[in-house]
Each structure stands twice: as structure tokens, then as C-alpha cells.
Amino acid sequence: MNKNTNIGTVKLIQGIGENVDWNSKKNKQLVQAFLSLKNKDEVQSFLRDVMTEPEIKEFANRLEAASLLSKYVQYNTITENTGLSSATIARIAKWLKGNLGGYRLVLSRISNHHNPSKLRKGLSLSS
């Protein structure tokens, strides 16, 4: 948390759970759809069909925020670079440090060195 983060944002983020039902038919189908994609062109085509252009930009900004948070960049700088709110950035920070590790996994795989220890400066890779 930095001087630009308000207490209401922190309380909001603390209340967010990881309550996605991955066993529902629709969510299983969504996961299977991603797993069926074989290359960059297929992923781009699917993302464009399933999301609007603003939604794609939002997801790209969230991934960029996770990358910047992993480098311990301040919230206000991330907001300036991505247009994301401090509440969204706080949520991403929570998930980046969380048990599921989705952001950490993706960031480690897309980094040049495939080295999860690149997620440094206070972000633990363990639960």
C-alpha cells in the first residue's frame, strides 16, 4: 500500500474471495476452449470473438499491472501507465500474492528466462 491507496480500497480487496466454481459446465467449457488453442493466431482469434476490444485492452492492462507490481512499481505509476483504478490494482496485487498463482505462472512463462525468481522485491512465490 502506498500513500495514494485509501483504507476503503484495502477493505474492499480483503473481502474478495476466490469463489469461482470451476466445476460448472460453463466454466469447464471455457477452460477447455483455451486448452484447445494451438498457437498465437488461434488465441488472438478466440479472444477477439469472445471479448470486445475494450475487454481485451482491460485484460492486457491487468497483465501489465501484474508485471509492474512484480517489479514493485508504485500504484500511481501503474495507474498512469494502464488507466486502471487503484482498487483494480490492489485486487491484482492480492491475486499476484495469492495461493492460486495464475499471474505468477504466466509471468514466469512469458519472461525471457523462464525464471519465477524474477518476481522479486517482496513478492513471495510460496503461499
Question: What pLDDT band is residue 3 in, cutting at 50, 70 and 90?
Answer: low
Query: What pTM was estimated for this model as a whole?
Result: 0.71
Q: Which of 51, 68, 96 delimits the end of a domain?
A: 51
| 57-62: Cβ within 8 A, 24+ apart | 62/88, 62/92
Domain presence at residue 32: yes
Q: Indicate if 47 and 65 belong to the same structural domain.
A: no
Q: How many domains does the chain have?
A: 2
pLDDT for 99 equals 83
Looking up cell 523462464 gives: 114
Q: Indicate if 61 and 107 belong to the same structural domain.
A: yes
Q: How far apart are CA 77 and CA 17, in angstroms?
A: 26
Cβ atoms < 10 Å from Cβ of 67: 19
pLDDT for 5 equals 52
pLDDT for 94 equals 93
pLDDT for 20 equals 80
Q: Indicate if 102 and 114 belong to the same structural domain.
A: yes
Domain presence at residue 67: yes
Map residue 58 onto helix, strand or coil: helix
Q: Indicate if 39 and 65 belong to the same structural domain.
A: no
Mean pLDDT score of the chain, rounded to an integer? 82
pLDDT for 19 equals 76
Percent of the chain with pLDDT strictly greater than 90: 65
Q: Give residue 120's domain range.
A: 53-127
Are 116 and 70 spatial neighbours (Cβ–Cβ below 8 Å)? no
pLDDT for 30 equals 93
Question: What pLDDT band is residue 90 in, cutting at 50, 70 and 90?
Answer: very high
Q: What is the pLDDT of residues 31-44, one digit of tens each?
A: 999 999 999 999 99
Domain presence at residue 96: yes
Are 12 and 94 spatial neighbours (Cβ–Cβ below 8 Å)? no
